Structure 1
Amino acid sequence: MDSRINLSRTLNSYLLLSIGVLIINLSVFLFGRQASNEREVWVTHTHEVLDLSHQVFTSIQNAETGQRGYLLTLDKRYLAPYLLGKANVTKQLTALKTKTSDNQQHQQLLEELGELISKKLTELQQTIDLAEQGEVNSALAVVKSDIGQALMEDIRGKLAQFKATERALLSIRKDKHEEAKRYQFYGVAFAALLLTAIVFTTAVIFKFRIINPIKKLTQKAVIYTEKKNTGFHIDKSSEEVEQLSLTLNEMSRSITDSLSALEQAKEQSEKHAKVKSTFLANMSHEIRTPLNGVFGTLQLLNKELSTEKGKSLLDRAIYSVRSLNSIVNDILDISKLEEGKLTIETVPFSLSELMEVALTDVSITAHAKGIAFLFYNECEHDEWLGDPVRIKQIIDNLVSNAIKFTDEGEVVLTVSESNAPEGILIKVKDSGIGMTPAEQNRLFDRFEQADTSITRRFGGTGLGMSITQQLVSMMDGDISLESERNKGSEFSVFIPLKTTELALESVGQSDIEPITLKEKKVLIVEDNEINMLVISEAIRDLGTEPTAAENGQEGVDAFKNNDFDLVLMDIQMPVLDGIEACKIMKSVSPHVPILALTANVMTEDKSTYIACGFDAVIGKPLDLSEFYAVLSDFA
């Protein structure tokens, strides 16, 4: 016998039944509430009628009291209660007739009561008229007779009869009111019990036909995850859960068949990624090493040339080397971004100092192209917490990009402060070639430029804007663009930062006091002959003759046999690398500063070198101004 149920149909049936019960419950409640309200209105109505009947008798008594006071004193002030009672009793009697218009018996009693009251009021008026005519004794004689007393007794009797009838109605209405409330309670209670039964039945179905089977499937899934050798068949469940069981069985077979292939693909992918990373690291080192020789040599030659033409040609060569180094840096940044190894620092820095360093080269480039470069710093605060190196990179990319694509007009850089949210807003506006909407959509793609003619005309790898966007994103910032073809572009970058009063980290030094290493003993450990030449000449320019070592072991031996004041050391060297050599030297003389000269300039590389004992890290290719700036801290 098939014990399965169709879960969808079953739950739909219970859902419809629950809705029906809720509708019945609501209807019972609303009808009961309406009936209760009606009964309550009638009870209130009865109390109002009884109160009015009492007021009628009180008004007659007040009129009679005023009449007698006047007859005894002839003081017309006593006529006020009489006249007020007379007026009130008429209004009250009319109100009673209106409120009981649906009760024929009450109407009959009120008619008879009205006649008695009319006679009583006539009797009272006659005595007052006699007293006003001077026949007070005649008026008193009428009062002493049984006529007025008899009328009051008749009025009292009629009102008592009226009240008794109304009280009987009140009792009946109260009973009906209580009965309506009981029926309302019984109806709601029955609906609640019925709904509870439905919920309980649904819970039982869920537990035994859904939850328990799913638990079994979960247990089997855990076993499958651990052992990869179980099926997913279960008994006594819903059709849907059993279909899920069959599907899982099919999936487990498919996964088992594919798992080995996936493992092989994963191993192959990891192998390729490792090969790629190692290749890029090696290529970076191999490219930077000759670059260091070229760049250093050009900077040294710059000091030797005396003709303006020679200096101009040399400046162009130095600019080309810097451009090539920038391309290498971009390729490495893309690699690190892909691997998720590029990190964002949070250190205090000076915004004005950062801008001064960042804009030194780009302003020269703009001047060389014959375009205006304008910079506005609208920030109230100068000290911020963030990553100054990456913020400078963003500004360099945006401004360099604007200058590159602007042949005439101006490039405007504006840095302002945002309070909500807190941070800085960077805007770069140019009057260059601009972009179409389609070109804007491709702008942040890697290795992309607006079109192929852009690459031919202006050059570039198409990496700068992609890196900029990813750096902004890593800082939880936002970058946007407004551009129109042949009218220019405006980039807006918001970077959330917080102000600080902590000690600032220097971004760079534009004005370095002249330093000297006279009477200082300097050891240079470098395996590349050209790099050794460049660094040695740079040290000689500072007033001392350095000692040279071609590998880490020679450097350690020289260090042990001499009292050096400063060590400049490469990292990748034969026999003994720079890290191990540094550790040995620090164990011998920990107070001697050792500076790393390396082509591995990523943040994590620098952190590793500092942790191993190096006092500072200088990147290759060597920029002599930056080199001297670092040396000034140890001279």
Structure 2
Amino acid sequence: MTFFIAFTLGLLLSIVLLWFDFRKEQAGVKERLEKITAMMSHTAGHALVTGNRSLAQGITDGLVEVGIVKKVSLVNDKNEILAISEARSTEAGYPIRFLEDMYTGQTSFRFPLIYGKNWHYAGYAEIYPNIRSISEDFAAHAGTVIISTFIVTAVLSLLYAVSFHLTLVRQIQKIAEKLAGADPSNQSIYSINISERHAKDELGVLTESLNILFARYHDNLLKVSRTEELKAAKEAADAANRAKSEFLANISHEIRTPMNIILGFAEILGRDIREPEHASLLSSIRDSGETLMKLINDLLDLSKIESGKIDINPTPLNIGSVVDETVKIFSETAGQKGLKLILNTGGCSGQILFDGIRLRQILFNLVGNAVKFTESGFIRLSCREEKTGDRLCSVIITVEDSGMGIDESQLETIFENFAQQQGQDHARYGGTGLGLAITKKLTEAMNGTIAVSSTKGSGSLFTVKFRDVRICDAPLQKTAAKGTVTFEPALILVADDSPQNRFLIRLMLKDHPFTFIEAENGRDAYVKAAAHLPDAVLLDMKMPGTDGYAAAKLFKSDQTTAHIPLIAVSADVLSDRVEEAFASGCSAYVKKPIISSELTDALKVFLKHSEENRAEEEAPQPSANITEEQRKIIRSELYDRWQMISRRFVISDMENFAALALSLAERENIKELKNWAEKLAKDAKEFDIDSLTGTIDNFTGFI
């Protein structure tokens, strides 16, 4: 009877645990399918965008080989099925069929596929999970558990039956009586004494076990108390971290929104202002705005790094070229101070797989600090590679200067957030103390280390070392440059609670044949879109009342407006906000402050247009179509400025000169000069020094 009861209870408990395991396995199906889809999303997105059916079929055939995938299909954004594959089914026994019938999860899952740098919706993958595979694994697991339960129950029942007939019952009763009379708050409860006659028999063992148990109970009380304190402290730290992230997200939005207006209007005014004095004032406004944007970007970078959300995107890279670019960018500033810039890239001639954007950020911080804090002497930037394995190497970069140096007592703290040297003249040197903190965290995020050695008054040496960097043989590819875009007439709805932002967008797009409708909030945008059916919607994501996220869901839930492309325009640049915008139904994301070229790129995806393309490496060539009168105007207004910037080679001057040339080209209707100015602005923005040199030299053809 005892065995039957024990076995029944054990079996019921096993069934309950198995059921929860089955439900857990069922809930985990979607998560595993999401991971599988994430691994092939880029390739699948490429196949959908390009219509490559053979590539799509290869992807689906490979997926059905995975045990948990029964059937998969790839569908593009026109709801056309490019490929479909299904795993072969086999006959199963009754237990397996029974478990398949018990399965109550989704029979299929749809995963959207986003492709390209502008986050475009390419289509989706529809995957049917293989319940047979889950059921077979679970059935085998269930059989093992039931057999184990039977064996354990039988052994325990036998031991219980033997011990039950021993004479310990009376002795245990005496111990129970003593415990019943003990004071739980008294230390005596943690020690029970028995007569010597029973000290070595089963009763003695039981008593000793009880004493050990009570002692452990006492220790556990202390541990629980400490654990509760640690838990409370962790919860407080997590709450503070969430509050910090929320604060940074909000302050980012609040700063980026007015900066969008300031920098946007400055860009537009730069096309029309021709007086040097006014152009200089406008340049000061733009430079100050960009300085403020750099500060908020540093804060956001720091927040993303600390929360583990920083993106590292390795691409084929010639690291020597990046180091050389950095020296060229700082050469003018160093020359003005009489500093000698020494470059040594002889040890970095190979091509590696690395994140060039993050590397530039690290080098700009280190070299920028060296230039800032060195009044005379030299700055030496070196790099070398050390092979560490098959197709792997370590990259060592050093930045040495003869500047003011760092006190030995502060070497351990200079990489902390907001840390600056004690006694540093802030009015003279400025800064927030974030540069080195971000540099250290970025270096560590890319499997690297950074160290500093310095003597006060004798300069500093920063050494950055990246380990296990993969050597890359793939040739560097230059992408095609963007040509002149001509849109067909279109109706665009601009939804933003700020009238200035709506006005700015209209100004940026004034040269295109667009008609605009405006809305102040998400609900108003949805109502007007349903009435007028615009060709595209520029949707601010943070508006009072119905915000952009809620509005996007309204658009997609209504068949009348579901087809209208939604382009998110937002100052929220944290990755989770971007993902939320796409999840709500947006098809592209443009970040504030808005750059007109990025806005145009987003609209090109959804609106009919034509584009005159040209190769990246070929700078626009002056044409014989330029009249002699136009050449005189170009010489009069641009030649002196061109001579100055071609000698100094400062990136900000290049950008300002490009804006000045673009303004003249539009005023005088000189198409060739406009193409050249757009190319110069693009090269300067991307710090493409090689292309920039050729473009600036090519100006001579206009004069």
TM range (shorter): 0.5 to 0.7
Matched, 1:400 2:357: no
2:496 to 526, 543, 549: 526
Corresponding residue for residue 462 of structure 1: 433
Matched, 1:603 2:543: no
2:315 to 348, 362, 375: 348
Residues in 1 aligned to 2:322 and 2:566: alpha-carbon distance in whole angstroms = 27
Matched, 1:452 2:423: yes
Matched, 1:293 2:261: yes
Residues in 2 aligned to 1:595 and 1:359: alpha-carbon distance in whole angstroms = 38
1:526 deviation in Å?
A: 1.6
1:618 to 561, 567, 590: 590
Corresponding residue for residue 301 of structure 2: 333
Q: CA 1:552–1:337 in 2, change beyond 3 Å: closer, same or farther?
A: same
Q: 5 Å matches for 1:42-441? A: 248-257=216-225, 264-338=232-306, 340-351=307-318, 379-382=348-351, 384=353, 386-408=354-376, 411-420=379-388, 421-441=392-412
Q: CA 1:288–1:258 in 2, change beyond 3 Å: closer, same or farther?
A: same
Residues in 2 aligned to 1:288 and 1:354: alpha-carbon distance in whole angstroms = 29
Contact conserved, 1:233 with 1:249, CA < 8 A, in 2?
Answer: no
Residues in 2 aligned to 1:484 and 1:327: alpha-carbon distance in whole angstroms = 29
Matched letter for residue 451 of structure 2: S
Corresponding residue for residue 685 of structure 2: none
1:473 to 426, 444, 454: 444
1:485 deviation in Å?
A: 3.7
Corresponding residue for residue 529 of structure 2: 559
Moved more, 608-617 or 622-631: 622-631
Residues in 1 aligned to 2:318 and 2:345: alpha-carbon distance in whole angstroms = 9
Q: CA 1:244–1:484 in 2, change beyond 3 Å: closer, same or farther?
A: farther
Matched letter for residue 284 of structure 1: S
Q: CA 1:499–1:259 in 2, change beyond 3 Å: closer, same or farther?
A: closer
Whose strand proportion is higher, 1 or 2? 2
Please give the secondary structure, in 2, of the residue aligned with 1:329: helix
Please give the secondary structure, in 2, of the residue aligned with 1:285: helix
Matched letter for residue 538 of structure 1: M
Matched letter for residue 451 of structure 1: Q
Please give the secondary structure, in 2, of the residue aligned with 1:524: strand
Residues in 1 aligned to 2:228 and 2:537: alpha-carbon distance in whole angstroms = 53
Residues in 2 aligned to 1:370 and 1:520: alpha-carbon distance in whole angstroms = 55
Matched letter for residue 320 of structure 1: S
2:520 to 546, 550, 560: 550
Please give the secondary structure, in 2, of the residue aligned with 1:472: helix
Residues in 2 aligned to 1:303 and 1:368: alpha-carbon distance in whole angstroms = 30
Please give the secondary structure, in 2, of the residue aligned with 1:282: helix
Please give the secondary structure, in 1, of the residue aligned with 2:411: helix
Residues in 2 aligned to 1:524 and 1:459: alpha-carbon distance in whole angstroms = 39
Matched letter for residue 498 of structure 1: R
Contact conserved, 2:191 with 2:211, CA < 8 A, in 1?
Answer: no
Residues in 1 aligned to 2:336 and 2:588: alpha-carbon distance in whole angstroms = 35
1:536 to 496, 506, 512: 506
Corresponding residue for residue 498 of structure 1: 470
Residues in 2 aligned to 1:629 and 1:374: alpha-carbon distance in whole angstroms = 40
Residues in 2 aligned to 1:251 and 1:344: alpha-carbon distance in whole angstroms = 45
1:279 deviation in Å?
A: 2.3
1:444 deviation in Å?
A: 0.9
**CA offset digits 1:486-506 (Å, max 9, x no partner):** 443332322343245779899
Q: CA 1:391–1:257 in 2, change beyond 3 Å: closer, same or farther?
A: same
Please give the secondary structure, in 2, of the residue aligned with 1:441: coil
Matched letter for residue 571 of structure 2: A
1:477 deviation in Å?
A: 0.8
**CA offset digits 1:191-244 (Å, max 9, x no partner):** xxxxxxxxxxxxxxxxxxxxxxxxxxxxxxxxxxxxxx9x9879968xx99998
Please give the secondary structure, in 1, of the residue aligned with 2:421: coil
Q: CA 1:452–1:513 in 2, change beyond 3 Å: closer, same or farther?
A: farther
Matched letter for residue 345 of structure 1: I
Contact conserved, 1:344 with 1:474, CA < 8 A, in 2?
Answer: no
Residues in 1 aligned to 2:505 and 2:350: alpha-carbon distance in whole angstroms = 40
1:305 deviation in Å?
A: 1.9
Residues in 1 aligned to 2:327 and 2:361: alpha-carbon distance in whole angstroms = 11
Residues in 1 aligned to 2:343 and 2:530: alpha-carbon distance in whole angstroms = 53
Q: Which has the higher Rg, Structure 1 or Structure 2? A: 1
Q: 5 Å matches for 1:2-41? A: none
Corresponding residue for residue 46 of structure 1: none
1:372 deviation in Å?
A: 6.2
Residues in 1 aligned to 2:351 and 2:511: alpha-carbon distance in whole angstroms = 36
Contact conserved, 1:408 with 1:432, CA < 8 A, in 2?
Answer: yes
Please give the secondary structure, in 1, of the residue aligned with 2:590: strand
1:582 to 552, 557, 560: 552
**CA offset digits 1:227-268 (Å, max 9, x no partner):** xx9x9879968xx99998776444333345556655555544
Contact conserved, 2:304 with 2:310, CA < 8 A, in 1?
Answer: no
Please give the secondary structure, in 1, of the residue aligned with 2:509: helix
Residues in 1 aligned to 2:583 and 2:383: alpha-carbon distance in whole angstroms = 36
Please give the secondary structure, in 2, of the residue aligned with 1:548: strand
1:282 deviation in Å?
A: 1.5
Paired residue total: 402
Residues in 2 aligned to 1:633 and 1:410: alpha-carbon distance in whole angstroms = 49
Contact conserved, 2:324 with 2:343, CA < 8 A, in 1?
Answer: no
Corresponding residue for residue 155 of structure 1: none
1:583 deviation in Å?
A: 4.3
Please give the secondary structure, in 2, of the residue aligned with 1:540: coil
Matched letter for residue 293 of structure 2: N
Please give the secondary structure, in 1, of the residue aligned with 2:412: helix
1:437 deviation in Å?
A: 2.5
The root-mean-square deviation of aligned C-alpha atoms, in Å, is 4.3
Residues in 2 aligned to 1:586 and 1:441: alpha-carbon distance in whole angstroms = 54
Q: Identify unmatched segments of 5+ residues in structure 2.
A: 1-184, 194-203, 610-703
Please give the secondary structure, in 2, of the residue aligned with 1:622: coil
Contact conserved, 1:344 with 1:475, CA < 8 A, in 2?
Answer: no
Please give the secondary structure, in 2, of the residue aligned with 1:481: strand
Contact conserved, 1:523 with 1:546, CA < 8 A, in 2?
Answer: yes
Residues in 1 aligned to 2:328 and 2:591: alpha-carbon distance in whole angstroms = 20
Residues in 2 aligned to 1:355 and 1:548: alpha-carbon distance in whole angstroms = 47
Residues in 1 aligned to 2:493 and 2:590: alpha-carbon distance in whole angstroms = 15
Residues in 1 aligned to 2:327 and 2:574: alpha-carbon distance in whole angstroms = 23
Moved more, 389-398 or 278-287: 389-398
Residues in 1 aligned to 2:598 and 2:336: alpha-carbon distance in whole angstroms = 24
2:541 to 571, 574, 582: 571
Residues in 2 aligned to 1:356 and 1:520: alpha-carbon distance in whole angstroms = 45
Q: CA 1:362–1:250 in 2, change beyond 3 Å: closer, same or farther?
A: farther
Matched letter for residue 312 of structure 2: E
Q: CA 1:442–1:309 in 2, change beyond 3 Å: closer, same or farther?
A: same
Contact conserved, 2:312 with 2:446, CA < 8 A, in 1?
Answer: no
